[in-house]
Structure 1
Amino acid sequence: MRVAVNHVTRFRFAEPASHSIHDARLVPRPAAGQRLVSWSVRGPGRRAEWRDGHGNSITTFSVAQRHSHVEIAVEGIYEWVGDDSWLQYAEREPLPATFWLRNHGLARHDARLDPLIAGLAPRVADSRDHVPLLHELMQRVHERITYRVGVSDVKTDALHAFDRGEGVCQDLAQVFVACCRRLGVPARYVSGYMRTDNGHKIGSPCPAWGEALVPGLGWVGFDPANNASPTHDYLKLAVGLDYTEAAPVTGRRIGPGGDAEMTVEAMVRQID
């Protein structure tokens, strides 16, 4: 199966900026069963490519002249060559597992999340197979937080999303990750692409989900927005402790610049 990706992120500034820098995490991570046929990331100004401490591929665009808008575009094709088993896409972890237990940033947790994990802690401690328990946790997050656009932003953390009871895929993913860590299960936030042309998924073509580090398997994905394990409909771009470390595109600018408006257009569709 081949899938085409077309994705454009645009920033428009209320007043021209004199200098801006944008980090794009838009090159897929290596994964079993996945092969890139073609892939390009285009943007303005000077370009630098590098990898961060999580192994994410980052393309940095630096614009050092007056400008009022920035456009970063992705065009690519990837191919799935394996089956549709979610176990095929488990990824090994080179870092100490304890790194992914940090109570950090937008995925921080406290006792407010305990109703979501009620009864799971002793079962996690006693079980050698965490996958069924993590599926149960994913379903609890899915049922507790209603998917709704426009009620949160990129600064919304897991605790506020839980208190509100609604949010987008970013919010559900961070709640899932926070709950995993509270249970003592290493977890991370994931950004990527998802096919939506088959009509079976909710959310945008640029979603987020969580991954838990399962003994004997490695990283296993859980998408609480869709209450499903990611398979060949998903393409992983970046991972991190929370949204801030795995956001598809982030930027900063030297003023005045004023307010900035970001718009995203994306299409992820099967082509053969």
Structure 2
Amino acid sequence: METKKELGQHFLINEEVAERIVEAIENKNLIVEIGPGRGSLTKKLLDVASFVVGIEIDYDLIWYLKNRFRGSSLLLIRGDGREIKLKQEVSIAGNLPYNMAKNIIKNFIFQYRFVKEMVLMVQKEVADKIIAHTGFREFGKFSILCQLYYTPKKLFNVKPASFLPPPKVNSAVVKLTRKTDIPNINDTFFDFLDKLFAHPRKTVKNNLSIDSNDEIFKKRPFQLSIEEIINLWRERWQTQ
């Protein structure tokens, strides 16, 4: 079965990597796998999970997986991980296509009430943004979105040879564990983030068009902590 470049398909063939992903999942009652592909990770999930739901966009792969795992507890759904809506609490796992990874993660972050944890394979560059701390150039809107709702951790890097065909970049497995102290924000916070990071190398003062000489406004957006950003939003944005 040939891979489809337009779907960003790089199938995991390293069993040890698949096993390490499964080991990192704590809640194994119901696991939703995004992009099962040819089933390397699926097989390991079925060994330990009470039930596995596979979300696959490729119609040909659905038929392949149905035949391979006939009689198992796998439920296959043809769908797009960027659009799937959940109705009960799950753990999310998957080797995400590079060209869709960030939007897939965003979709499930905004459904955090149903997603206790995520263990995901992504491009290393995306993993670095997910875990980036204040002061690092990688720290931006996507880092903040992930860290508002989850505690992220990079578990390990994965070489291109672990995939077929091998990608041109390195990958990494990250784990996002849902927080218990999620801040009280609303949609206007994300509008504020768009404005704050409109020009990441400019100062907060310039991005927000604020006439103030306070030290915080002399910083670049990536130099602010998430707490400082939330406070700025509450003090300077919600009152407008």
Q: Which has the higher contact order (CA 8 A, sep 6+)?
A: 1
- For Structure 1 versus Structure 2, the TM-score category normalised by the shorter chain is under 0.3
Normalising by structure 2, report the TM-score. Answer: 0.25
TM-score normalised per structure 1 = 0.23
Instruction: Answer 1 or 2: which has greater strand percent.
Output: 1
Larger Rg: 2
